[in-house]
A and B are shown apart, each in its own frame.
Chain A
Amino acid sequence: MNCQEFEQRAWAEPNCEEPGFVQHKQDCPDCGPMALELQAFDREIGSGLAVDCPDDLAARIRARHAIQYDNERQAERGSSLTEMTQRLQDRLFGRGPAWIGAYAAFATVLLVVGVLRGGLSGGGADVMALEQLAAEHYAEERFATKVSMEVPRADLAAMFAEFGARLDGEIMGVTFANGCVMEKGIKGVHLVLDTPRGKVTVIVIPHRAVDSDTTMQVENQPGRLTPYNNGTLALIGPDGKSMDMAEERMRNAVTWL
């Protein structure tokens, strides 16, 4: 390889490992330093191209795939998820056309009609707003209780890190997890935990705390809001015992910083 060939190659592929290129780089007093300089330039280009990736991207891909997988299995059994569930998925992942607005309106109506408040101890407008938020989110992602996905611990930890909480232990029985925007850009975590008494939906709403436990009913299921550090834990499950189990798992595994 002569100097001209080397230069051509170095500008096209500065990290070339072909023997002729490597030999010339070692032997030629002019070309060697030029190649080193181009390699350094390539590292700069690499850092320029290193656009940061959203922490929860892998988790969202897995969540979406879990739904698709579930649909495929349902289809294999000769049935499919309902049209409503499909729409909810689309809404979650932002792929819906014009009916989104109509669905949002429907969800709001559903809230007004569907959120039947039980014996409350907390009371107050803020509690009602949080109940509404939890019920709305539950309705929007109702499919979440129907899927079963593997959630790597690192993905789960990244979801909690978004609002300054650390995952220290293992949250047992996670069958769904997604870092969701709750309101005004505030990210929370939506989990579904499998317990011996059935699946419990757990929604962590950071930065908005209830004063004390508040019971509620969401779509004929019991639920409650409970203080969770500087936020609120919304639990919706088949009964109080199942929600107790889910709450205990959350408190044991997560540390607020």
Chain B
Amino acid sequence: MQGKDNARARFNRLVGEYSKDVFRYAFWLCHNKTMAEELSQETFLRAWKSIDSLQDDKAAKSWLFTIVRRENARQYERKRLDMVDDVDFDRVGATREEYDTSTEAFVLRRALAELPEEYREPLVLQVIGGYSTEEIANQLGIKAGAVMTRLFRARKKLREMLGEREQ
């Protein structure tokens, strides 16, 4: 029972520490706030089932992001017929301090949403997750060189898109 209680305390700590990052990553995977919430909840429930396999809490974020990706793939399979393309930025909470509501930020979010998935995903992992190129490569199951190329192109493309809009 003691072991269970410890695991539970550990789980609660992980929720407190990483639920926001998990939600943000989930949002950029599925583009929908409601689905991101569901995805986040499912991710943590799945994480609970295998919490004993997480040996070092320093690896927790990476471990959770892997679960998010898998769970998103699973849910996408289930729900792809209902998926909408529009990103629901207007419902992501425009009144809170950390959420930049300026026009520039809105334009940037649109541009990010329009980036091809293969470019956006490593960029999100790098910027939100703080991962190194090697870590992203492990997450995505591709070579580090390919990650570098995608990140390079992601920023170039983003800059290009923002430049076009400014003109």
Summarize B's interface: helix, strand, loop or mixed: helix
Report B-chain residues with C-beta under 8 Å of the C-beta of A64: 41, 45
Summarize A's interface: helix, strand, loop or mixed: helix
Known pairs A48-B109, A49-B124, A65-B45; list 19 more (Cβ under 8 Å).
A8-B148, A11-B152, A11-B156, A42-B127, A45-B155, A45-B158, A46-B127, A47-B100, A49-B24, A49-B112, A49-B128, A50-B99, A50-B100, A51-B23, A53-B93, A57-B40, A61-B45, A94-B38, A150-B9
A48 engages B20 (CB within 8 Å): no
User: Is A69 part of the binding interface, using a Cβ–Cβ cutoff of 8 Å?
Assistant: yes
Report A-chain residues with C-beta under 8 Å of the C-beta of B44: 61, 65
A-B pair number, CB within 8 angstroms: 113
Interface size on B, residues (CB 8 A): 47
Q: How far is the CA of A46 from the CA of B105 in the complex (A)?
A: 10
Interface residues of B in 118-155 (CB under 8 A from A): 123-124, 126-128, 133, 147-149, 151-152, 155
B40 engages A52 (CB within 8 Å): no
A47 engages B105 (CB within 8 Å): yes
| B49-90 vs A, Cβ < 8 Å mask (1 yes, 0 no) | 000000000000000000000000000000000000000000
Q: How far is the CA of A152 from the CA of B148 in the complex (A)?
A: 41
A50 engages B98 (CB within 8 Å): yes
Name which of A46, A61, A94 has the most chain B CB atoms within 10 A of its CB: A61
Residue of B with least CB distance to A68: B45
B99 engages A61 (CB within 8 Å): no
Residue of A with least CB distance to B97: A52
A58 engages B16 (CB within 8 Å): yes
Report B-chain residues with C-beta under 8 Å of the C-beta of A69: 8, 48
Residue of B with least CB distance to A149: B12
Interface residues of A in 47-96 (CB under 8 A from B): 47-54, 57-58, 60-62, 64-65, 68-69, 73, 93-95
